[in-house]
Amino acid sequence: NKKSIIIGSGIAGLAAAIRLRNKGFEVNVFEANSYPGGKLSEIIIQGYRFDAGPSLFTLPDQVEELFHISGKDPKAHFDYIRLPVACHYFWEDGTQIKAFGDTKKFAAEVESKLGEPASYVFESLQKSAFIYDHLAPLFMHKSLHRFGTWANKDAIKCYFKLGKLGIFSTMNKANEKQFSNPKMVQLFNRYATYNGSNPYETPATLNIIPHLEFNIGAFFPKKGMHDITLSLYKLAVNLGVKFHFDSKVEEVIVRDKKAIGVIVSGNSHFADVIINNMDMVNAYKTILKKEKQPNRLLDQPKSSSALIFYWGIKKVFPELDLHNILFSENYKEEFDHIFNKKSIYQDPTVYINITSVNKPDDAPEGCMNWFTMINVPNNQGQDWDRLIQEARKSIIQKVNRILKTDIENLLEVEEILEPRTIESKTSSANGALYGNSSNNKYAAFLRHANFSSEIKNLYFCGGSVHPGGGIPLCLLSAKIMTDMIKG
């Protein structure tokens, strides 16, 4: 059997392990942490369980496919539901909108509460589907760095529709044109944050994202997000993948421009192919530091990061759903702070994810587990201790104003994740959540390829390479990459 080594057991590393094993490779995964999953992990504190990182689950078929190719029934190992409400939105003036999974219901909701014509919603979601149908086959399922990608029928279809794919406008401009009510513009601008970008700069092409959430659906794994990691880890182990935890790779061994192995704790391990799932910026700084550096790609601006308070709350708020957003009064100012001033706006949009709504055993009886998050700039050496304390105050005041409560008195557990700890726990450059940002129309072409053009037998997957960050894209990166490797 051919041998493979995977560096990192993030979601893409796990998917790569399963795919390579199915191709007949022997697979050894070296992971720096003591647990699998990277950003997709969990924390448990005093009877409260929290999904530590990702909370929104789209394109579940990408997870299911890994069971199918392994000859297993996904439903027997990994179960999930489609959410009847994708998100519950709150504004300071008391307006509340539920983004129902049923688009007709959602359109009726915004028509009755905001006076936004239902037809504008349908039209917007059709445009979103159009972008998806044209771009997904090209940008999500194929390498952009192979000639064949640009010379087939999917690509040719796109060349003729460039004007309609949103490349020449920004997300905000397109949404201002589409909707009459500023609250709808804000709601749809929020999708830029799904890959850590700025709606006032990112091309309107990113209006592809609402298609995922509304037309295909927002989902929730019945055992929580961490079950994506656990079920894939178990599948990999079951297939015979060998995991080595607390095993930080120190160097990729390269001889005659060929990757032949890795060094872990001073010991060499050899294989026919080496796959790196670690963030590319830090990989080139550490395990590939002797190799030629693709500086232009590595210097691209990074996505935003996050500040999260994991709060155990001694009360049940029946008005809250699984996903809740308390919107900022000035969205433009908020993004200007995140991407230009590299600071935190004093009225941030607060996202509260509460898995105990769907999975009651995630919190003690009569309590809720609040994953309370705001988008923040990536780490540029800011005075985080001060910024975090200020942001905590702003968040508490906002929650108190909108939910008419005194949240500080209800807190019994608190843990914090922030850009510095995101970086130290998963090696993400600047603590960015999604690798490079997508704030310009060339971003898709300025992510690292899924292979090395300098070093043979060296491949890449994960949020910092093509096609980008977020669970579905990371899973696709593993697919694109393993498709290139001959069994």
For residue 474, state whether it binds ligand FAD (rule: CB under 6 A). yes
For residue 433, state whether it binds ligand FAD (rule: CB under 6 A). yes
Q: Which is nearer to ligand FAD, 235 or 278 (CB)?
A: 278
Stretch that binds ligand FAD, among 47-55, 73-81, 134-142, 319-327 (CB under 6 A): 47-55
For residue 428, state whether it binds ligand FAD (rule: CB under 6 A). yes
Q: How far apart are CA 108 and CA 324, in angstroms?
A: 20
Q: What Å distances lie between residue 65 and 68, 230, 276, CA to CA?
A: 5, 16, 22
Tokens of 407: 């949240």
Among 5, 21, 28, 39, contact with ligand FAD (rule: CB under 6 A): 39
Number of residues that bind ligand FAD (CB under 6 A): 37
For residue 199, state whether it binds ligand FAD (rule: CB under 6 A). no
Q: Which residue is nearest to ligand FAD (CB)?
A: 10
Q: How far apart are CA 288 and CA 460, in angstroms?
A: 12
- Distance of closest approach, residue 434 Cβ to ligand FAD, in angstroms: 6
For residue 481, state whether it binds ligand FAD (rule: CB under 6 A). no
Q: Which is nearer to ligand FAD, 33 or 378 (CB)?
A: 33
Stretch that binds ligand FAD, among 73-81, 209-217, 314-322, 420-428 (CB under 6 A): 420-428
For residue 432, state whether it binds ligand FAD (rule: CB under 6 A). no
Stretch that binds ligand FAD, among 11-19, 121-129, 389-397, 400-408 (CB under 6 A): 11-19
For residue 31, state whether it binds ligand FAD (rule: CB under 6 A). yes
Stretch that binds ligand FAD, among 115-123, 253-261, 399-407, 427-435 (CB under 6 A): 427-435
- Distance of closest approach, residue 40 Cβ to ligand FAD, in angstroms: 5
Q: Which is nearer to ligand FAD, 30 or 311 (CB)?
A: 30
For residue 30, state whether it binds ligand FAD (rule: CB under 6 A). yes
For residue 9, state whether it binds ligand FAD (rule: CB under 6 A). yes
Among 17, 18, 20, 32, contact with ligand FAD (rule: CB under 6 A): 32
- Distance of closest approach, residue 33 Cβ to ligand FAD, in angstroms: 4
- SS3 per residue for the chain: CCEEEEECCEHHHHHHHHHHHHCCCEEEEECCCCCCECCCCEEEECCEEEECCCCCECCCHHHHHHHHCCCCCHHHHCCEEECCEEEEEECCCCCEEEEECCHHHHHHHHHHHHCCCHHHHHHHHHHHHHHHHHHHHHHHCCCCCCHHHHCCHHHHHHHCCHHHCCCCCEHHHHHHHHCCCHHHHHHHHHHHHHHCCCCCCCEHHHHHHHHHHHHHCCEEECCCCHHHHHHHHHHHHHHCCEEECCCCEEEEEEECCEEEEEEECCEEEECCEEEECCCHHHHHHCCCCCCCCCHHHHCCCECCEEEEEEEEECCCCCCCCCEEEECCCCHHHHHHHHHHHCCCCCCCCEEEECHHHCCHHHCCCCCEEEEEEEEECCCCCCCHHHHHHHHHHHHHHHHHHHHCCCHHHHEEEEEEECHHHHHHHHCCHHHCCCCECCCCCCHHHHCECCECCCCECEEECCCCECCCCCHHHHHHHHHHHHHHCCC
**Residue that the structure tokens 């794919």 belong to:** 165
- Distance of closest approach, residue 353 Cβ to ligand FAD, in angstroms: 8
For residue 20, state whether it binds ligand FAD (rule: CB under 6 A). no
Stretch that binds ligand FAD, among 25-33, 71-79, 110-118, 155-163 (CB under 6 A): 25-33
Geometric angle at alpha carbon 387, from 383 and 390, rounded to 5°: 150
Stretch that binds ligand FAD, among 5-13, 252-260, 294-302, 358-366 (CB under 6 A): 5-13
Among 204, 471, 481, 485, contact with ligand FAD (rule: CB under 6 A): 471
For residue 420, state whether it binds ligand FAD (rule: CB under 6 A). no
For residue 224, state whether it binds ligand FAD (rule: CB under 6 A). no
Q: Which is nearer to ligand FAD, 174 or 471 (CB)?
A: 471
CB 245 within 8 A of CB 30: no
For residue 249, state whether it binds ligand FAD (rule: CB under 6 A). yes
Site for ligand FAD in 335-364 (CB under 6 A): none
- Distance of closest approach, residue 409 Cβ to ligand FAD, in angstroms: 26
Contact residues for ligand FAD, defined by CB under 6 A: 7-13, 30-33, 38-40, 53-56, 248-249, 277-278, 287, 306, 308, 422, 426-428, 433-434, 462-463, 469-471, 474
